[in-house]
Amino acid sequence: MNDYATIHQPVLLERCVELVAPALDHDGAVAVDCTLGLAGHTIAFLKASPRARLIGIDRDAQALAMATERVRAEGLADRFTPVHAAFDAFSQVLDDVGVRRVDAVFMDLGLSSLQIDETERGFSYSHDAPLDMRMDVSQPLTAERVLAEYDEPALTRIFRTYGEERYARQIARRIVQRRDREPLHTSAQLSALVDEVIPQAHRPAGNPAKRVFQALRIEVNGELDKLASTLPQAANRLAVGGRLVVESYHSLEDKTVKTFMAQGLAADVPPGLPVIPPDAQPFFRDLTRGAVKADEGEIAHNPRSASVRLRGVELTRPIPQRWRRTFASAAEPRHYEGGR
């Protein structure tokens, strides 16, 4: 597949470059794109920052190969290092390539255009396909296994927490009741089951199963746990003046990013203290003043940008040791069958 423009439209591309590029305007600058996808953002960063090199991480081997080909076609391969890994292996990736500090870290969360548009992955409820939903097809856990093996309380928790689904318990119950005589193998089967459960009067706009599909995708790929583990790793490896820029696409992702960044945006002192000691001053500077959203023009050009929330911070001073220890603890890996 060589017509990348038809399947890959980077969200808020110009704004992302505006946020990332100032940190890369010096010799030896290093950026990390934790969610390489088809390299749309990566290529823009490299073109805007001719003195920088970039490490591109992706857990999807197919996307990584296509991105590498695209970077090479743009004549940028000499400043690009592709790495096949999940982004919560962030620190290990840097150690493996011999990099101690980086000047920019970028994350474009959620599904890539490739994963959405390749129907055999089963991410979309719009096409009938096997219930796979793995970003890394080498991992053992699939959506089909989750639906076949998780008990009713576990399924309820997934649908309610990750999908914010009002009828989580009822959907989980119906799955458990039916799966022994009618196992769920395809996206069409799951969509039909959810359609039966949710009352007509309470259906959201679009396909009623969209929240269930989102919840399964997050569970299969460990997305929120990976995000919560990666953010502190990224902060601990930033150089002073370095920038952390993240695009989120649903409220749980954005809440995780916002909560993490807030830790460094506030003074670390009790309320009412008249003088803030230097070592208690904030260590992040807010680059976006909250979340940047796509405007009507962007949404019209790229409908997938409708839900984006873009946040960015700059590291203004060395992170205090107490926070470094806190971040290191939060970044410790967790055992996960799906590859977390």
> DSSP assignment of 264-287, as one string?
HHS-SS-TT-SS--GGGS--EEES
pLDDT computed for residue 340 by the predictor: 30
For residue 335, what pLDDT is reported?
42
H-run or E-run covering 229? helix 223-237
**60 marked among binding-site residues:** no
What's the half-sphere exposure (Cβ side, CA atoms, 13 Å) at 213?
Answer: 30
Residue 202 annotated as part of some ligand binding site = no
Angle between helices 210-221 and 152-163 (to 10 degrees): 100
Going residue by residue through the chain, which has 340 residues, state the pLDDT in tens, using 9 for 90 and above: 445 545 568 999 999 999 999 999 999 999 999 999 999 999 999 999 999 999 999 999 999 999 999 999 999 999 999 999 999 999 999 999 999 999 999 999 976 555 554 555 556 666 789 999 998 888 899 999 999 999 999 999 999 999 999 999 999 999 999 999 999 999 999 999 999 999 988 887 778 899 999 999 999 999 999 999 999 999 999 999 999 999 999 899 999 999 999 999 998 777 777 788 888 899 999 999 999 999 999 999 888 899 999 999 999 999 999 999 999 999 875 544 443 3
Question: Is 58 among the annotated ligand-binding positions?
Answer: yes
What pLDDT, on a 0 to 100 scale, did the predictor assign at position 298?
93
Q: Which of 313, 259, 293 is nearest to 107 (CA)?
A: 313
Q: Enumerate residues 6+ apart whose C-beta is below 8 A from 188.
A: 128
295 is in an annotated binding site: no
Q: What is the separation of C-alpha 300 from the centre of its chain, rounded to a whole number of angstroms?
A: 23
Record the tokens describing residue 88, joined without a space: 């919560």
Annotated binding residue 260: no
| Domains of the chain and any CATH numbers | 4-114+223-330 (3.40.50.150), 121-221 (1.10.150.170)
- Binding site annotation covers 40? yes
CA-CA distance, 45 to 22, in Å (whole number)?
A: 10
Is 39 part of any known ligand binding site? yes
